Chains A and B, each alone.
Chain A
Amino acid sequence: MDIRLENISHSYDDFEVMRDITLDIPDGRIVCIVGPSGCGKSTLLRFIGGLERPSQGRVVQVGNPPEGCLNPLTYIFQDFALLPWRSVEGNISLVLEDHGIKGARARAIIDDVLARTKLSDFAKALPKQLSGGMKQRVAIARALAVKPAVMLMDEPLSALDSQTRELLMDDLVSLWTRQPFTAVYVTHNLAEAVRLGHRIVVLSRRPGQIREIVELDTPLGEREYGDPELERQQKHLWQLMRDEARAADAELINV
């Protein structure tokens, strides 16, 4: 299933935040959206998943979600959004219960996704007992449980320290190589973008517009920490963003 964004513009009252964004998200690829703070990256992601409506333009799904998909557009949030009163398995079963999946069938799915995110030993733990990285892995497991067609990742690693971030990036890469998934990955971290993105969309500062789309051809599995080619790409992206970021930083926030 592909996602297509057609001429999306958005404003709050007469305050323009986004202008004419048209973008294709092809099946089986990771599209990273980068841009200075306040350029509307996260808002764009909320449009894609239907949590918010753009003032103009539309988001369309092309084709049907794969067989067995419970929730085609599934988010992974920056702050994990785990229910603190439910254990790891309880948090995953939460998203299955509404689809009538209980008992042995739920058990099988939960065991599978916990194994894939290396959390099998922590099924009974409460979120307060887990480190940030583990919490985000639980959130990833929860997303995998509904077999999404597209994963919408909103700065999923930004709340983590840099070592954990590296580890989780490796995990995401290995998840993708084993079973390619489609994802829109919003981040302000260029290292994450060049590591995980097949296509990197650079947004300008407010009102957010597409400045450039960079395609990276190196297979995900071969991208490594400190790869010179990636460094070069990252530098190029930073060149694009630098002035925008500086100008965005100097703006008053009035939203």
Chain B
Amino acid sequence: MSDATLDTIPATKAKPEDGTARPVSFRGGGFAPKPRRWVGLVVFLVLIAIAEWGTRAGWISALTLPKPSDVLQTFQELYASGLLFKHLGPSLSRLAVGAALGVSLGVSVGILIGLFSYIRAGMVPLVAALFPIPKIALLPLFVIWFGIGEGSKYALIAFGTFTPTVVATYGAVDNVDRTLIRMGQSFGLSWFSIVRKIVLPGAMPGILSGLRISLAIAIILLVAAEMLGAEYGIGAYILQAGSLYDLERLFAGVVILSVLGVLVSGAIAIIERRLLGWRT
């Protein structure tokens, strides 16, 4: 949606008399998003307030949605019992290892695709074939390959983050300004220097925006990875609560995932601000 002003539609077009001075009506502005702090927080708070009000007043039945205050209480119990960090610890390490593997592999393959015609011709169809596979469906296969322990969980998350990272990275490399590369060549820079000093920084905006998507997918896959053979972990906690129809605990777990998502996105925003300050 644009920020266009809507109040400028001219009223009745009366024929002006000759010689009268009228101000020119304003019809510019808009189409330029500006930062509006706190609006996001207000949206969250309003939605939660509506849920709380509805469940208390009874027009939302307790079976449809748990009371936000009950979810908060469950969360507090979880925290007080020390179980929160017992669940969070393994989850975060799975997320970190899996995403780091997938993203670093994805960026490397993406750059190779962007730079070499043969690798592009060979890999792009392969990536297109791998991308739509629901990675969750491959979990049993990963368990056979990498064992029921942490290996299969790392592999699932890595595989899930790999494909979107590859696609984002080679797109970003394709978009690097060719005149800058020609400039590098004309000054006799080595191939490796051109890649490191021109291609890589030039592709960074695209790689980072791809990272946002990849990491969100990593959080989604975390729950899937913990479906099999995980005693502790946010995903395991949610699935356990889900199978018992314990909605309060289910929602407490979901909230943790959401917060994780917001934190990851915030972290990327900070990285963007630091690395991409040169953008106009």
Contact = CB atoms under 8 A, between A and B. Distances in A.
Interface in B166-197: 179-180, 182-183, 185-190, 193, 197
Contacts of A74: 186-187
Interface in A89-122: 94-95, 97-98
B101 interface: no
Contacts of A127: 278
A97 B188 CA distance: 11
A13 to B, nearest CB: 20
Contacts of A98: 187-190, 193
Contact of B280 (A86, A95, A128): A128
A77 B193 contact: no
B183 A81 contact: yes
B15 interface: no
Contacts, number: 54
B179 A84 contact: no
Contacts of B201: 83, 85
A251 to B, nearest CB: 25
B94 to A, nearest CB: 34
Contacts of B183: 75, 77, 81
Contact of A81 (B179, B193, B277): B179
A73 B198 CA distance: 20
A49 interface: yes
B193 A84 contact: no
A9 interface: no
A77 B179 contact: yes
B279 interface: yes
A162 B58 CA distance: 73
Interface residues of A, number: 23
Classify the secondary structure of A's interface with B.
loop
A136 interface: no
Nearest to B177: A81
Interface string A41-85: 000000001010000000000000000001101110101010111
A126 interface: yes
Contact of A75 (B186, B204, B278): B186
A141 interface: no
Nearest to B186: A75
A146 interface: yes
Which of B188, B193, B277 has its CB near the most chain A CB atoms (within 10 A)? Answer: B188
Nearest to B204: A85
Nearest to B187: A95
B278 A85 contact: yes
A81 B180 contact: yes
Interface in B78-130: none
A102 to B, nearest CB: 13
A75 B179 CA distance: 12
Contacts of B193: 97-98
B187 A51 contact: no
B186 A49 contact: yes
B4 to A, nearest CB: 27
A94 B186 CA distance: 12
B258 to A, nearest CB: 33
A51 B190 contact: no
Which of A70, A81, A86, A142 has its CB near the most chain B CB atoms (within 10 A)? Answer: A81
A83 B198 contact: yes
B280 to A, nearest CB: 5
A83 B187 contact: no
A201 B186 CA distance: 24
B197 A51 contact: no
Which of A75, A85, A97 has its CB near the most chain B CB atoms (within 10 A)? Answer: A85
B278 A51 contact: no
Which of A51, A83, A146 has its CB near the most chain B CB atoms (within 10 A)? Answer: A83
Nearest to A148: B187
A95 B198 CA distance: 12
Interface of B: 179-180, 182-183, 185-190, 193, 197-198, 201-202, 204, 276-280
Across the A-B interface, give the 3 residue pairs with the lowest CB-CB distance, nearest first: A81-B183, A85-B278, A95-B187
Interface of A: 49, 51, 70-71, 73-75, 77, 79, 81, 83-86, 94-95, 97-98, 126-128, 142, 146
26 contacts: A51-B185, A51-B186, A73-B186, A74-B186, A74-B187, A75-B183, A81-B179, A81-B182, A83-B198, A83-B201, A84-B279, A84-B280, A85-B201, A85-B202, A85-B204, A85-B278, A86-B278, A94-B189, A95-B189, A98-B188, A98-B189, A98-B190, A98-B193, A126-B277, A126-B278, A128-B278
Given A77-B179, A81-B183, A85-B276, 6 more contacts: A73-B186, A75-B183, A81-B182, A83-B201, A85-B204, A86-B278
